[in-house]
């Protein structure tokens, strides 16, 4: 130890919680590509509910048997609240 730094700090890069469970994955931020897909659906006339249903259908086709893993991930499958807020944000940006 030195006189200017009278302590030792040990850093361990670990988590005190599970990081790959469905409970934690659902809180991830929406992927920019998926966000843009929703914006495009809104511009084509979809409301939040129909855009979410369309995205769920596309994800089922794309992921097949792994759909439920993908659906638990908030980065790939947002909840209705996230889609609704995105719709409001885009609608207010377009129409003031």
Per-residue pLDDT at 83 exceeds 80: yes
Q: Give the Cα separation of 24 and 36 in Å (integer).
A: 23
Q: Which two tokens stand for residue 86?
A: 């995105």
Give the count of beta carbons closer than 10 Å to the beta carbon of residue 52: 21
Q: Is the pTM of this model over 0.85?
A: no
Q: What is the mean pLDDT of the chain?
A: 89
In sequence order, which residues have a C-beta less than 8 Å from that of residue 68 and are 6 or more positions away? none
Per-residue pLDDT at 91 exceeds 70: yes
Per-residue pLDDT at 2 exceeds 80: no
Mean pLDDT to the nearest integer, 9-21: 77
Mean pLDDT to the nearest integer, 35-61: 97
Q: Give the Cα separation of 48 and 61 in Å (integer).
A: 20
């Amino acid at each position: 130890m030195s006189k200017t730094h009278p302590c030792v700090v040990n850093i361990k890069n670990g988590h005190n919680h599970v990081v790959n469970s469905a409970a934690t994955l659902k809180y991830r931020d929406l992927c920019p590509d998926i966000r843009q897909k929703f914006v495009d659906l809104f511009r084509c006339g979809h409301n939040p509910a129909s855009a979410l249903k369309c995205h769920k259908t596309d994800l089922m086709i794309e992921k097949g048997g792994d759909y439920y893993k993908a659906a638990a991930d908030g980065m790939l499958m947002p909840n209705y609240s996230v889609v609704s807020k995105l719709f409001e944000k885009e609608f207010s940006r377009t129409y003031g």
